[in-house]
């Protein structure tokens, strides 16, 4: 899954960005509101971590514009403003969650996981599909209850397919969900992840739709 981080404090941005990557997400980081709005209209993110005090366009304005254009992406607001009025303004503008600085990185990771789960319609931290269970909190995978070792990106590929069960994900969509800006992607990288997933789990788990992409069949629960 791919997260947009909007934070103009470079030290904090660096730390948060590293923390999100460590939690297994692809992260793009912008330092101002205008760049963030451009990115949101060109790339399909799963969530936004949004600072409020920003150059260009402040966070509340950006959030208001997003919601006015019916953009329903989950937004977690980060702010140094801790008055009740500011909090209410943030939530009224369409924030899904709120974290006051300074905060603990593990709390941000946990809140973001909960937000992503809610937005994808999953009810708990476990995602089931047939013989497979993904634990979204610990990033562990089980096949017939036995743990299976997957790399962070293999896990992310499987999660993306399972959360979209019954729909086809193109190679481009999978790449977008797995990689941030400027990250080098080999031309057959996704094929390698799919190959590894079939080998480590089972062969007919993921179907190739020739010339389109990949899918996990729905209703196999």
Which residue lies nearer to Ca ion by CB, 53 or 64? 53
Minimum separation from the CB atom of position 204 to Ca ion (A): 49
In the stretch 6-45, what mask flags binding to Ca ion with x, by CB under 5 A? --x-------------------------------------
Alpha carbon distance 188, 163 (integer Å): 23
Under 8 Å between Cβ of 90 and 62: no
Beta 140-143 vs 146-148: how paired, if at all?
Answer: antiparallel
Which residue lies nearer to Ca ion by CB, 51 or 154? 51
Which residue lies nearer to Ca ion by CB, 8 or 175? 8
**Stretches 18-26, 51-59, 105-113, 162-170: which one binds Ca ion (CB under 5 A)?**
51-59
Alpha carbon distance 85, 47 (integer Å): 24
**51 binds Ca ion, rule: CB under 5 A:** yes
Question: What count of Cα atoms within 13 Å lies in the side-chain half-sphere of residue 154?
Answer: 17
- Give the CA diameter of the chain: 55
**53 binds Ca ion, rule: CB under 5 A:** yes
Minimum separation from the CB atom of position 9 to Ca ion (A): 5
**64 binds Ca ion, rule: CB under 5 A:** no
- Quote the Cα angle for 131-161-154, to 5°: 85
Q: What are phi and psi of 29, to 5 degrees?
A: -125, 120
Which residue lies nearer to Ca ion by CB, 24 or 53? 53
Which residue lies nearer to Ca ion by CB, 46 or 51? 51
Which residues lie near Ca ion (CB under 5 A)? 8, 51, 53
């Amino acid at each position: 899954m791919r997260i947009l981080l909007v934070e103009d404090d470079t030290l904090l941005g660096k730390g948060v960005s590293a923390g999100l990557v460590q939690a297994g997400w692809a992260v793009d980081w912008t330092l101002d509101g205008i760049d963030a709005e451009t990115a949101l209209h060109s790339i399909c993110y799963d969530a936004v971590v949004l600072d409020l005090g920003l150059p260009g366009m402040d966070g509340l304005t950006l959030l208001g514009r997003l919601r006015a254009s019916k953009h329903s992406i989950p937004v977690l607001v980060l702010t140094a403003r801790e008055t009740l009025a500011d909090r209410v303004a943030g939530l009224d503008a369409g924030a899904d969650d709120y974290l006051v600085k300074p905060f603990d990185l593990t709390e941000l990771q946990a809140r973001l996981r909960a937000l992503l789960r809610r937005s994808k319609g999953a009810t708990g931290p476990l995602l089931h599909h047939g013989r497979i269970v993904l634990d979204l909190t610990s990033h562990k995978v089980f096949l017939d209850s036995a743990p299976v070792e997957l790399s962070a990106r293999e896990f992310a590929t499987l999660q993306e397919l399972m959360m979209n069960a019954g729909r086809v994900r193109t190679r481009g969509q999978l790449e977008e969900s797995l990689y941030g800006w400027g990250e080098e992607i080999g031309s057959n990288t996704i094929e390698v992840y799919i190959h590894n997933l079939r080998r480590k789990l089972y062969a007919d788990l993921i179907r190739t739709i020739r010339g389109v992409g990949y899918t996990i069949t729905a209703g196999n629960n």
